[in-house]
Structure 1
Amino acid sequence: MYDPTRLAALVAVAEAGSITRAAARLGYTAPALSQQLAKLEREAGVALLVRHHRGTRLTAAGEVLVGHVRRVLDELDRARLELARLSGLSGGRLRVGTFTTVGVHLLPPVLSAFRRAHPDVELAVADYEPPHGVAAVAAGEVDLALTHAYEPADPYPLPSGVFLESLLVEELVLVTAPGQVLASGSGRLPVSELAGRPLISGAPAHPARKGVESALVEAGAVPAVVCESPGYALVCALVSAGMGVAVVPEMVAEMAATPLTVRPLEPAAFRRTISVAHRGDASGTAAHALRALLRTGFARPSG
């Protein structure tokens, strides 16, 4: 019999691409997570992971197991949601933290589904620019919070008692004004091609983006225009006006209100992971029910 916690850890490693990143998201230390995965491999009787210089990847056996595990976890999520419905959830208040992009484009239909299932639970939503939502969960200001982390970047230390559950991983892509030379090619654009281009950067001192900015600088793409705002709306508007180019999350590029041309980058190592921060079993039944809906509502093909 496989341990469900270890199976969920294997899925987290598959999504994160490394044990270190998965451990940070799950609230473990990397050695502790490695120990759990080693026990799972002994239970399975085959190697599930291959470690390499850029992280960790699944073996063929690992791919097979993760496929089955994802289906099992989906069923468990449905079971939790059904049990939450049976429990009534006939009152109380659920406080949710979010950040702008997700709060505008992904969260509303999930909250609407929650309201239909549990009309007697009062919902309150607060805006927190990551990683402040994580601190709000730790302080008890909200019951759970949507947050994000950029790669490459140093992992954000989680407060005691707070856990992260990955919901969506998306690439960072190049956006340009329509008709610009960088927009005319096909396929992935090497990051080195950004050298000498005016790169619009939104609040480069923001902790979540420092690693990405540093990697771009190493490739010669030095920021030439700086927007002192964490919001992407201004960045995209300036790009559309021809002030420069920018590297933004795929979702931001898709939802931009101004005309943009989008191109994927090479290497495809620039990513943003959207997660929900929570207090585990201490979060309460309503928070568990909303997390189950978040998993379903945020699921979409990557890339």
Structure 2
Amino acid sequence: MLDLHRLKVLREVALRGSMSAAAEALGYTPSAVSQQIAALEREASAMLVERGTHRIALTEAGRILVEETRWILEQLDLADEEVKAIAGLRGGRLRIATFRSAGETIVARAMMDFHRKWPNVELTLMLGEPEEYLGRLARGEFDLALSFAYDGVPVAPPVAENLVSEPLLAEEMMIALPERHRLATATSAALADLANEPWIASTARSSVHAFTTVACRWEGFEPRIAFETDDYHIMQALVAANVGVSFVPALSRETAHPRVRLLPVRPRPPMRRLHLIIRDGGLVSPCVSEMAGLLRTATCGLRDQGP
């Protein structure tokens, strides 16, 4: 196997026409260049350069070697520049997967700040449910993701051993009421006061399907589930239509329906806990590190909503 570094030295000698000129271009001493060429000749089992008093010339074997490896070395140079660009956040791409309520709030805010600082990094965003994209994150289809866990709902086992979870935010689950509801003007709501209301909950497809039932059972009653949807915007639209009440996460306050009141739950608000998920590959890319930091910053002002 021919040494790629020595092939680059041979290319410079061919371009410059002398050992000293190649040494100056590479930042080496002429002696070091001569030693690299000699080592390459031993690897190739052929003389590659004809050494003269003032200039050198490639032998036929040397000319063929330079010509046949030119494309490979050019591609290596290009790859090296791309890696340096990514390391310096001057290029590359960052692929993010998240769920909607985080995507339209803290992730959107972090992406805006990231793009302002590093406009040449290509950002892509996939919205879905954690069970849809965490496996793809483990396989390298995304660079980082956000996930969640609800109080009282068993957390599913890790999708893959190479995923690392970092707590990002603990937020209250609030009660969404129609604007003309009898409790709409209150400053908080006790779940027991809503025991006879129709409830809107997530579907059986969701990993947190049981949350509404569990949270209501904590307060001593079985909720009557009237509608099911996994979209908090649709939940709020149904609440606004006065067909039921529902839990929504505190993040939803930023995109709340205009005809819905969101009230804190008393005496013990159930919580949703957000997690930042990345692959455990040893080295974390600068793009991932930068975005992770911006996500932490975006949630700092919301942390006081948790315990």
Q: Answer yes or no: is 1:132 the counterpart of 2:114.
A: no
In structure 2, what is the equivalent of residue 163 of structure 1? Answer: 164
Looking at structure 1, the residues matched to 136 and 165 of structure 2 have their Cα atoms a distance apart, in angstroms, of 13
Larger Rg: 2
Aligned residue for 1:153? Answer: 153
The equivalences for 1:10-159 within 5 A come to 87-158=87-158, 159=160
Structure 2: which amino acid aligns with 1:193? D
- Structure 1's 185 and 110: CA in aligned 2 closer, same or farther, altered over 3 A? closer
1:279 and 1:221 map into 2 onto residues whose CA distance is 40
* Corresponding residue pairs, total: 218
Indicate the residue corresponding to 1:288 in structure 2. Answer: 289
Give the drift of 1:199.
0.9
Deviations 1:43-101 (A, max 9, x none): xxxxxxxxxxxxxxxxxxxxxxxxxxxxxxxxxxxxxxxxx999512322211111111
- Deviation of 1:191 after TM superposition, in Å, equals 2.0
Question: In structure 2, what is the equivalent of residue 233 of structure 1?
Answer: 233
* 1:239 positional shift: 0.5
Question: Could you say which residue in structure 2 is the equivalent of 1:298?
Answer: 299
1:160 to partner: Cα distance? 0.2
Contact 1:143–1:283 (8 Å) recurs in 2: no
Distance in 1 between the 2:129 and 2:275 partners?
13
Residue 224 of structure 1 aligns to a residue whose secondary structure is strand
Note closer, same or farther for the CA distance 1:224–1:197 as it changes in structure 2 (3 Å cut): same
**Conserved in 2, the CA contact under 8 Å of 1:98 and 1:128?**
yes
| Superposition TM-score, scaled by structure 2 size | 0.64
Matches of 1:245 and 1:106 in 2, distance apart? Answer: 25
Q: Does 1:257 align with 2:257?
A: yes
Aligned equivalents of 1:149, 1:135: Cα separation in 2: 17
- Give 2:78's aligned residue: none
Which residue matches 1:223?
224
CA drift at 1:211: 3.6
Cα deviation code 1:19-59 (max 9, x no counterpart): xxxxxxxxxxxxxxxxxxxxxxxxxxxxxxxxxxxxxxxxx
What letter is aligned with 1:289?
E
**Counterpart Cα distance in 2 of 1:126 and 1:112:** 16
Q: What amino acid is the match of 1:178?
A: E
Contact kept in structure 2, 1:151 and 1:269, CA below 8 Å: no
How far residue 271 of structure 1 moved from its aligned partner, in angstroms, is 0.8
Give me the whole-angstrom Cα distance separating, in 2, the residues matched to 1:286 and 1:98.
17
What amino acid maps onto 1:259 in structure 2?
Answer: R
Structure 1 segments unaligned to the other structure (5+ residues): 1-83
Report how far residue 119 of structure 1 moved. 2.6
Any conservation in 1 of the 2:174–2:249 contact (CA below 8 Å)?
yes
Kindly indicate whether the alpha-carbon contact (under 8 Å) linking 2:87 and 2:285 is maintained by their aligned counterparts in 1.
no
Q: Percent identity?
A: 27
> In 2, distance between residues paired with 1:267 and 1:135?
37
TM-aligned CA deviation for residue 129 of structure 1: 1.2
Residue pair 1:192, 1:221 contacting (<8 A) in 2 also: no
CA distance in 2, matches of 1:262, 1:290: 30
Q: State how far apart, in whole Å, the 2-side matches of 1:238 and 1:139 are.
A: 38
Whole-Å Cα distance in 2 between the matches of residues 178 and 221 of structure 1?
24
CA RMSD of aligned residues (A): 2.4
1:269 Cα deviation from its structure 2 partner: 4.1
Deviations 1:163-220 (A, max 9, x none): 111222110111111121232444x433222212111113255212424432324632
For 1:297 and 1:153, locate their aligned partners in 2 and report how far apart those are by CA, in whole Å: 26
TM-score normalised over the length of structure 1: 0.65
Q: Is the 8 A contact 1:154 1:211 kept in 2?
A: no
8 Å contact from structure 1 (residues 194, 220) kept in 2: no
Structure 1, 147-156 or 252-261: larger mean CA deviation? 252-261
Q: Matched residue of 1:226: which SS?
A: strand
- Give the 3 Å change call, closer, same or farther, for CA 258–195 of structure 1 in structure 2: same
Cα displacement string for residues 273-297 of structure 1 (whole angstroms, at most 9, x for unaligned residues): 1221101434422111110111112
Distance across 1 between alignment mates of 2:126 and 2:260? 30
The residue aligned with 1:45 is none
Work out the CA distance in 1 between the residues paired with 2:238 and 2:226: 10
Aligned mates of 2:210, 2:126 — CA distance in 1:
25
> SS of the residue aligned with 2:257?
coil
Deviates more, 1:91-100 or 1:111-120: 111-120
Contact in 1 for aligned 2:94/2:124 (Cα 8 Å): yes
Contact 1:152 1:215 in 2 (8 A): yes
